Structure 1
Amino acid sequence: MGIIRAVPELERVVGERPLPVMMKSIDRLDPHCLALLAHSPAAVLGYVDAEGRQRAGLVGGTPGFAEAESTSRLRLPAPPSAAPGTGAALLVLVPGWRETLRINGTLAEDGLLVEEAFLHCGKAVIRSNLWGPAAAPGDAVEEGSVLGPAAADFLAAAPFAVIASRDGAGRADVSPKGDPPGAARMIGPATVVLADRPGNRRTDTFHNVVERPEVAVLAVVPGDYRTLEITGKAAVSTDAGLRESMAERNRTPKAVLKVDVETVRLAQNSALRDSGSWDPARHVDPADLPRPSTVWTDHLKLNETAGAAAKLVRDGVDERLLRAGLDEDYRQNL
């Protein structure tokens, strides 16, 4: 099985990270971020626990649960096992909205010190139909070192998963993955795979895994108040048979993330239950949120990357053209 072990090899397969894409991030919380946080009742937190393991959990419960104390500090409920002073990342969910907000930084005693914030494209949410019809809640729970029957059934039904990872320097990231049910696929009791689908083209997870293989995967099923957390060591695979087995919409992924499972925890999640994420009456009207193309336009202009090329990107960005390109991208490149 072909395993990618170095960044140059990775970028030959999945492409380099384009400058305009990387410039969509800023180093603080601006008014757009604050508006999204005010409407969000839940988020996935990638963190490191006291034993040094990469973890992922869903936190929140009510809109505005993550409160900005300043443009560089968020107060939020962290799991008791989380280790302050380590890299952490937040994927902010807004029920009914297709985009997600990603906030990366360092975990403090009572929140997150913000180092990077950016809007993630809506393809994972669209592909998963995350805010669509909800299933009946399940009650089976499970914990162990392999995927037992309940965890396997849950994973097979899950259209949406989030991968938490860190790079060699400990900087954290959480990245959403969406597909028809089975976004993360079990190919053995201790092995899970996830495909690389078209997205925001940052490929953060793959870059991180090449440097540090520890990951956590959190899977959810619309309508279910349980979450499935899988931790283990990951590798980026280019195996042709594995890639072809994960083709969707007649598109074969360029690479697949293969996770060797170490721990499995399927459990009820009170934050998810309290968030009302699967209740259409509590979904946010997109008209009440900033337009995604406006967020990206403003963030590109706020980005402080130096150099002539970066200046050209800032000077050339046009919200109307970006909006039209985004709509076409969502139509053509799911």
Structure 2
Amino acid sequence: MELICDVAELEHVVGSRMLPVMMKSIDRLDQHAVALLGRSPAAVLGYVDAGGAPRARVVGGAPGFAVPETSSRLRLPLPRDAAAGTGAALLVLLPGWRETLRVNGTVGDGGLTVEEVFLHCGKAVIRSDLWGEAAAVDNESTEDGPGIGPAATEFLAAAPFVVVTSRDGAGHADASPKGDPPGVVRPIGPSTVMLADRPGNRRTDTFHNILERPEVAIVAMVPGDDRTLELTGTATVSADRELRESMSERNRVPKAVLLVEVAHTRLTPSAALSEAALWDTGRHIDPGELPRPATIWTDHVKLNETTGVAAGIIRKAANERMIRTGVNLDYQQNLY
């Protein structure tokens, strides 16, 4: 099956982590992050429960549910079973906006100690048409158990957007958005699913984490449906040609696929998702009311404290207009 088992092999297949990309992250909440958090009604939280298992769920319900108390402290409604002192990751959603904010840190009393903040590119949201017109879903089926049952299979066939949460060997967490036309997660067996590696922000955090710690938790969403599907299990990365070709989209074959052996499935109504009304276009945010993504990336590069000559050159060269032009071109030419 051509499983990828080490970093050298992974980077040979999907590319290495480039310094300019990694310098788009900072270690604190700046004014841009505060502004985005103030407008967001919901996020996906990847965390570890009291039994040590990976979990992921939607949290929030109203704009400003996550409150920055300091530049390194974020208060938010944590699940009751979240284990203190463990890594957690927040994928912050802003309805109507293509980009997402990622906040990684450690679970503390009533929130997160912030360790990493960065803006994720909008490709997953664009591919999924996450904020497009959504019809109400007349389906209340639920599921809770091992494997992937009929209700979960039906939900996955309709889901265009998921968030994959993972941790590295040291326990640092990450939450990465994945988007495609409906069926972004494809069942290929009674307990196995597959996702394609589409172009994104080029950090490949999920793949690097899985090489060190294969346990993952995934949340899938269907626009118009107030249920979420959580899949927990173990993941591997494959460069198998047949699997990759089966996930082709717009004549583009992904460089790798993520395979997940699902241990537990939870398809349940989400109070946070319902209260956030993510699919109500009347509540979507006008992008003109938010900071420009290119401005955020430029400022974050300049705030990044990576040392070295190359990092200094990148900081000095960072330019909002240049980044905006490059991102728009990338969205047009490298969506798949």
Same fold (TM over 0.5): yes
In the alignment, is residue 39 of structure 1 matched against residue 34 of structure 2? no
2:76 — aligned with what? 76
Q: Distance in 1 between matches of 2:267 and 2:187?
A: 15
Q: Secondary structure at the match of 1:188?
A: coil
Letter aligned with residue 81 of structure 2: S
Q: Distance in 1 between matches of 2:180 and 2:29?
A: 30
Letter aligned with residue 50 of structure 1: A
Q: Distance in 2 between matches of 1:285 and 1:261?
A: 38
**CA deviations over 1:96-134 (Å, ceiling 9, x no partner):** 000000000001120011000000000000000000121
1:117 — aligned with what? 117
2:199 — aligned with what? 198
2:294 — aligned with what? 293
- List 4+ stretches of structure 1 deviating above 4 A: none
**CA deviations over 1:230-267 (Å, ceiling 9, x no partner):** 00000001111100000111110111000001000000
Q: Distance in 2 between matches of 1:155 and 1:248?
A: 17
1:106 — aligned with what? 106
Preserved contact between residue 162 and residue 217 of structure 1 (Cα < 8 Å): yes
Q: Distance in 2 between matches of 1:183 and 1:81?
A: 28
1:136 — aligned with what? 136
Q: Distance in 2 between matches of 1:109 and 1:186?
A: 38
Q: Secondary structure at the match of 1:85?
A: coil
In the alignment, is residue 49 of structure 1 matched against residue 44 of structure 2? no
Q: Distance in 2 between matches of 1:304 and 1:178?
A: 31
Letter aligned with residue 249 of structure 1: R
Q: Distance in 2 between matches of 1:124 and 1:235?
A: 21
**CA deviations over 1:45-95 (Å, ceiling 9, x no partner):** 000001111110000000000000101011001111110100000000000
2:261 — aligned with what? 260
Q: Distance in 2 between matches of 1:241 and 1:78?
A: 41
Q: Secondary structure at the match of 2:322?
A: helix
1:91 — aligned with what? 91
- Displacement of 1:316: 0.6
Q: Which runs of 5+ in 2 are unaligned?
A: none
Matches within 5 A, 1:234-249: 234-249=235-250
Computed over aligned residues only, the root mean square deviation of the Cα atoms, in angstroms, reads: 0.6
Matches within 5 A, 1:205-216: 205-216=206-217
- Displacement of 1:135: 2.8
Letter aligned with residue 23 of structure 2: M
Letter aligned with residue 37 of structure 1: L
Matches within 5 A, 1:267-306: 267-306=268-307
Q: Distance in 1 between matches of 2:155 and 2:299?
A: 39
In the alignment, is residue 217 of structure 1 matched against residue 208 of structure 2? no
Letter aligned with residue 158 of structure 1: A
Letter aligned with residue 65 of structure 2: F
**CA deviations over 1:132-176 (Å, ceiling 9, x no partner):** 121323311111101111110001100000000000010000000
Q: Secondary structure at the match of 2:153?
A: helix
Q: Distance in 2 between matches of 1:11 and 1:100?
A: 25
Alignment identity in percent?
67
1:19 — aligned with what? 19
Q: Distance in 2 between matches of 1:136 and 1:65?
A: 25
2:161 — aligned with what? 160
2:321 — aligned with what? 320
- Displacement of 1:318: 1.0
Q: Secondary structure at the match of 2:195?
A: strand
Matches within 5 A, 1:161-200: 161-200=162-201
Q: Which runs of 5+ in 1 are unaligned?
A: none
Preserved contact between residue 141 and residue 267 of structure 1 (Cα < 8 Å): yes
Letter aligned with residue 91 of structure 1: L
Letter aligned with residue 155 of structure 1: L
- Displacement of 1:188: 1.1
Letter aligned with residue 8 of structure 2: P
Q: Distance in 1 between matches of 2:28 and 2:104?
A: 10
Q: Secondary structure at the match of 2:315?
A: helix
Q: Distance in 1 between matches of 2:332 and 2:12?
A: 26
Preserved contact between residue 135 and residue 221 of structure 1 (Cα < 8 Å): no
TM-score normalised by structure 2 residue count: 0.99
Q: Secondary structure at the match of 1:274?
A: helix
- Displacement of 1:194: 0.6
In the alignment, is residue 29 of structure 1 matched against residue 29 of structure 2? yes
Preserved contact between residue 135 and residue 223 of structure 1 (Cα < 8 Å): yes
Q: In the comparison of the two structures, how many residue pairs are matched?
A: 334
TM-score normalised by structure 1 residue count: 0.99
